[in-house]
A and B are shown apart, each in its own frame.
Chain A
């Protein structure tokens, strides 16, 4: 396409690669082992304040007002539409989800991605709205639940060599039986480490003045002087029964 544009406009061109990603493929035996730990750990206990914030944001975004999740997601086989998980790339095959370069890793070693509940359902993703929960008790509780699952699955791998064998058997004999990884990188491609420097140079001095100082403040919310949750007056009475 670039060559055609060049011919049309009587120009010459050069190119450089900025990024690349393979579609992902996650490992079945490892996911099944991890799911057993997910069932053991379960979801965090959300407070009334957590739910009020979640529902207020959902009202603001005009999405179904369901609050935070209270039931863990089923482990489902691939190519079945799943519920909104607040992130991209876990649904129905490479048919339109966002790209994620964990895909490259997943074609080189058995890989799974644990999703943990630190965010509010219904957010658009890659947006200010998906930052609202991320330094609140919702994020903190989600991280603790996720860390437990991650740690227990690590222990499974340490204690059960047969899990590693099954993971590699799936990787070799099912996942990569017909599809072999070839990097999109050309030999001379280099990471685009210059990207975003200008933007960070512009904003970093002001951002530095707002870095969290845990020696002075219990939480970042406290440092910022934000009452938790801060919602519009009409949202303060939100209850678990609120309807969209």
Chain B
């Protein structure tokens, strides 16, 4: 037990060596960051508008990822693409050693949410097309602007550390971050600063309202009910007993609501036209 405790202690984050910075200087560094970011307004606008115009759905964010990684690559970030077997996923890294600060934000958009910006009613750019109706065009541009400003300060002040950026691919499908975890994307990360558009500037801590969710596609193989009736009623029992009244008399031409149909040796017939030995089951039409 003592050995285990010792091992756990050794695994705790090791304080990283960074030059001590006086509070005044730290404030000046923050003011410098703000000034730099103000000077990047144009770059931010171009990125936000560009990704808005790409408007790509989850797992298909090819244009978006190509564009954003191109910007980061030009700024000296090393790009690793195809993370976790996802073609549109990537990680951009710059810097050396600890701490590792990881910046994430989503990039996918919403089906049928195409919308002209700046117009205060529903007016699609392209009818039926996807669009950024959850604002995921803005988060990675925000992270890039922040990262570029911090990178400059790190270079100037000789600060150690690593900046990583990554996109939330297919967030609307809750489709990728568990795979990122499985691929070890966060194994050496100290803190993740995620960001998501809202209508205020805020942050919270503790548990969120978000529900856990598993999305699973089930594929059934068998004989489908060919008409508008629902699944066949008790087919096995009907076949076994063979007594489900397929001799039932119905008014003529009654394939109308309220009528019954018999599955008669793999064909749908009026119950009166099906012998009890061929009758597999009955369906009452709604």
Complex A-B, nearest 6 residue pairs according to Cβ-Cβ distance, in ascending order:
A78-B206, A97-B209, A11-B222, A115-B198, A86-B199, A73-B202
Q: List 19 A-B contacts (CB under 8 A).
A: A10-B222, A12-B220, A18-B175, A69-B200, A72-B202, A73-B202, A102-B171, A108-B186, A110-B190, A111-B192, A114-B195, A122-B199, A123-B199, A135-B53, A144-B40, A150-B143, A151-B145, A155-B30, A185-B182
Judge whether A158 and B126 touch: CB under 8 Å: no
Given contacts A23-B210, A147-B146, A193-B59, contact A132 B174 (CB under 8 A): no
Q: For A2, what are the chain B residues with a Cβ–Cβ distance below 8 Å?
A: 218, 220
Residue of A nearest to B14 (CB): A161
| Interface residue from B149, B171, B205 paired with A27 (Cβ < 8 Å) | B205
Query: With A and B bound together, what is the CA distance between A99 and B157 in angstroms?
Result: 40
Residues 37 to 63 of chain B near chain A (Cβ within 8 Å)? 37-38, 40-41, 44-46, 48-50, 52-60, 63
On whether the beta carbons of A108 and B142 are closer than 8 Å, the reply is no
| A residues near B129, Cβ cutoff 8 Å | 203, 206-207
How many Å lie between the Cα of A208 and that of B215 in the bound state? 31
Q: Max chain B CB contacts within 10 Å: which of A9, A35, A142, A191?
A: A191
Min CB–CB distance A236 → chain B (angstroms): 10
Known: A41-B201, A200-B60, A212-B50. A53 touches B208 (CB 8 A): no
- Beta-carbon nearest neighbor of B35 in chain A: A148
Identify which of A19, A111, A184 gathers the most chain B CB atoms within 10 Å of its CB. Answer: A19
Q: Find out whether the CB atom of B110 lies under 8 angstroms from the CB atom of A127.
A: yes
Does B277 have its Cβ within 8 Å of any Cβ on chain A?
no
Tell me the minimal C-beta distance from A98 to chain B in angstroms: 7
Instruction: Kindly supply a per-residue 1/0 record for chain A positions 128-149, scoring 1 wherever the CB is within 8 Å of any chain B CB and 0 otherwise.
Output: 1111111110011011111111
How many Å lie between the Cα of A149 and that of B33 in the bound state?
A: 10
Which of chain B's residues has its CB closest to A133's CB? B117
**Chain B residues near A48 (CB-CB < 8 A):** none
Return the contact of B175 from the options A101, A154, A159, A207 (Cβ within 8 A).
A101
- The 8 Å CB contact of B196, one of A79, A87, A140, A159, is A87
Interface residues of B in 1-50 (CB under 8 A from A): 12-13, 15-16, 18, 21, 26, 29-30, 33-34, 37-38, 40-41, 44-46, 48-50
The distance in angstroms between the C-alpha atoms of A50 and B99, with both chains bound, is 39
Given the interface contacts A109-B192, A143-B145, does A148 sit within 8 Å of B37 by beta carbon? yes
- Asked if A19 contacts B205 (CB within 8 A), the reply is no
Chain B min CB distance to A27 (Å)? 6
Query: Is residue A94 contacting chain B, with contact meaning CB distance below 8 A?
Result: yes
* Least distance between A83 CB and chain B CB atoms (Å): 7
Cβ–Cβ contact B104 & A105, under 8 A: yes
Q: Mark A201-213, 1 if CB is under 8 A from B, else 0.
A: 0010011001110
Residues A105 and B177 in contact, CB atoms below 8 Å apart: yes
Whether B137 is near chain A, meaning CB under 8 Å from some CB there, is: yes
- Does A239 have its Cβ within 8 Å of any Cβ on chain B? no
How far, in whole Å, are A97 and B40 apart by their CA atoms in the complex?
A: 35
With A and B bound together, what is the CA distance between A226 and B235 in angstroms?
61
Q: What chain B residues lie within 8 Å of A16 (beta carbons)?
A: 216-217, 219
Judged by a CB distance under 8 angstroms, whether B256 is at the interface is: no
Identify which of A20, A88, A115, A150 contacts B193 (C-beta below 8 A): A150
Q: CB distance A200 to B113 under 8 Å?
A: no
The A-contacting residues of B in range 131-177, CB under 8 angstroms, are 131-135, 137-138, 141-143, 145-147, 149-150, 153-154, 159-161, 163, 168, 170-177
Q: Which of A146, A151, A235 contacts B120 (CB 8 A)?
A: A235
Give A76-91 interface residues, CB cut-off 8 Å to B. 76-79, 82-91
Q: In the complex the two chains form, is A75's CB within 8 Å of B204's CB?
A: yes
B210 touches A103 (CB 8 A): yes
Query: Which residues of chain A have C-beta atoms less than 8 A from B101's C-beta?
Result: 154, 157-158
Bound-state CA distance A212–B161 (Å) is 35
Q: Could you tell me if A91 and B117 are in contact, using CB atoms closer than 8 angstroms?
A: no
Q: How far is the CB of B156 from chain A (nearest CB, A)?
A: 12
A104 and B178: CB pair below 8 A? Answer: yes
Specify which chain A residues have a CB less than 8 angstroms from the CB of B131 in the assembled complex.
Answer: 128, 131
Contact of A79 among B141, B160, B193, B207 (CB under 8 A): B207
Q: Does B118 contact A (CB under 8 A)?
A: yes
**CB of B197 within 8 Å of the partner chain:** yes
Q: How far is the CA of A114 from the CA of B236 in the complex (A)?
A: 57
Instruction: Give the complex CA separation of A133 and B172 in angstroms.
Output: 19
B89, closest chain A residue (CB)? A191
Contacts of A183 in B (CB 8 A): 178, 181-182
Provide the residues of chain B in CB contact with A96, threshold 8 Å.
209, 211
Separation of A34 and B128 alpha carbons in the complex (Å): 39
CB of B194 within 8 A of CB of A111, answer yes
- Taking a contact as CB atoms under 8 Å apart, the answer to whether B113 and A127 are in contact is yes
Asked whether A240 is an interface residue with its Cβ less than 8 Å from the other chain, the reply is no
Q: Is the CB of B202 within 8 A of A196?
A: no
